[in-house]
Amino acid sequence: MSADYDVIVIGAGPAGYVAAIRASQLGFKTACIEKWLDEKNKPVLGGTCLNVGCIPSKALLDSSHKFAEAQHGFETHGIGTGTVKIDVPKMIERKRKVVEQMAGGIGGLFKANNVTPISGTGKLLKDKKVEVTDHEGKSQTLSAEHVILAAGSVPIEIPPTPLEDGVIVDSTGALEFQVVPKRLGVIGAGVIGLELGSVWSRLGSEVVVLEATDKFLPMVDQQIAKEAQKILTKQGLDIRLGAKVTGSKVKKGKSPSVTVEYTDKEGEQKIVFDKLIVCVGRKPYTEDLLADDCGIEKDERGFIKVDDYCATSVAGVYAVGDVVRGPMLAHKGSEEGVMVAERIAGQKAAMNYDLIPSVIYTHPEIASVGKTEEQLKEAGVEYKVGTFPFLAVGRAVAANDADGMVKMLADAKTDRVLGCHIIGPSAADLAQTVTVAMEFSTSAEDIGMTVFSHPALSEAIHEAALAVNGHAIHMPNRKKR
């Protein structure tokens, strides 16, 4: 008896929908199951990233940045604006329209590529069978030659701050505020906390970020992290490190608030907020995804165990994106989805996990690819460093957007670029150019010998590469010891 589909994908986020499209392009009869419903209870594709993650948060980041520029940045250009006001509901509505447009785009791609969308909750049974339960509770069982698990992740909740509708919220709730909180607390100084804190700080909130660890952005090259902390603090974020939240109490009524208790090096502390955002990380979403007898193994943190090619312990079943090891990044999941689809088709597809760029979309942006200086030191690798400030880049100065720097790391013997770390304007796009170069094992000298357009922000990449070997033109070079 033949299977209903060649490939069934569970989850239509960046990992799942990309896997489904690529599988169909390769000639497989493909279905993609997604349970997400929009605010009107209509099926919608895109998962967390599109609906309550990457896309809506960037819409708010862009809106709030334009507001902050109009308030504080236009005057230096000779532009007078008078009193600048923010219409929060209108900003939120624009965000919703952006999400709606992008979700519709995925639906169009499914149609163009002959992917069958199925609305409901998917659950893997044994023998590569998938149970689909629709939103009315009716179930059907489908079979497939190959199954790709791409269920994504959900925010982590912590006992001291249980969510309280409208007062204590997770990252999803923080995208729906209808008024600017006078005083806003953010638990967690990671990517999501800093981005959402920046949004509401620009709009006028007094934002306090409580971070349990003593180090700011420990996953980031620490020279860049220190620069980021300095800039974000100057922008108005009150970042308190070593602040471990121990409890909270919500006051309800006409003017609700939340009192947060935490400990730091000074002892026990209390602070009152109008609203509190809990951003302490995400966990793989595997609830009701796997039947007990399906044979799939998970690790101690709940991630599905896979090999280097995202194959699980069950032949013909794969897992990609946030439900497996590695950084929870949309682009990482997407590339895994492509890799798996191509491997199902018999191609020798692989993924370079050493070169996955990461970005924090504050302003300035923080972006990196490859190894940090701390990682190279720990591994005992001899390296060279080149840095270059945007303050010496004509295009950045002309735009009045010259905070930050580019830092490049190269092997001391071979000159091969091992990492690039940027805080500054358009850092995400600049880091991507270095990612391409590193994929082809470029050297700092190679980048230094490449012609860069002028005036352009990318000149900072050029000069940092030159600085690695003491050849920077537009700043003094470090004296060799």
Q: Pick the residue with more confidence: 166 or 223?
A: 223
Q: What is the pLDDT of residue 2?
A: 75
Distance CA 143, CA 29 (A): 12
Q: What is the pLDDT of residue 480?
A: 60
Positions marked catalytic: 454
Q: What is the pLDDT of residue 332?
A: 98
Residue owning tokens 């590339």: 335
The fold for domain 364-468 equals: Enolase-like; domain 1 (3.30.390)
Distance CA 55, CA 46 (A): 10
Q: Pick the residue with more confidence: 81 or 272?
A: 272
Do 396 and 335 touch, CB atoms closer than 8 A? Answer: no
110 has pLDDT over 70: yes
Report the C-alpha dihedral over residues 426, 105, 48, 432, rounded to 10 degrees. Answer: -30
Dihedral sign for Cα 5, 10, 11, 15, please: negative
Q: What is the pLDDT of residue 1?
A: 54
Q: What would the pLDDT profile of 398-415 be if each residue is shown by its tens digit?
A: 999 999 999 999 999 999
Q: What would the pLDDT profile of 209-255 be if each residue is shown by its tens digit?
A: 999 999 999 999 999 999 999 999 999 999 999 999 999 999 998 89
Q: What would the pLDDT profile of 133-155 be if each residue is shown by its tens digit?
A: 999 999 999 999 999 999 999 99
Report the C-alpha dihedral over residues 332, 338, 340, 344, rounded to 10 degrees. Answer: 180
Q: What would the pLDDT profile of 309-367 be if each residue is shown by its tens digit?
A: 999 999 999 999 999 999 999 999 999 999 999 999 999 999 999 999 999 999 999 99
Q: Where in the sequence of the chain do the CATH 3.30.390.30 domains occur?
A: 364-468
Q: What is the pLDDT of residue 165?
A: 86
Across-strand partners of 406?
A: 388, 422
Q: What is the pLDDT of residue 39?
A: 86
Distance CA 8, CA 28 (A): 10
51 has pLDDT over 70: yes
The correct answer on CATH 1.10.3210.10 for the domain covering 168-280 is: no
Mean predicted confidence (pLDDT) in 292-305: 97
Report the percentage of the chain scoring pLDDT > 90: 96
Q: Pick the residue with more confidence: 112 or 3?
A: 112
The two three-digit tokens of residue 354, written as one number: 């050493």
Q: Where in the sequence of the chain do the CATH 3.50.50.60 domains occur?
A: 5-155+283-354, 168-280
The residue type found at 63 is S
- The domain 5-155+283-354 is placed in CATH, from the list 3.20.20.10, 3.50.50.60, 3.90.550.10, 3.40.630.30, at 3.50.50.60
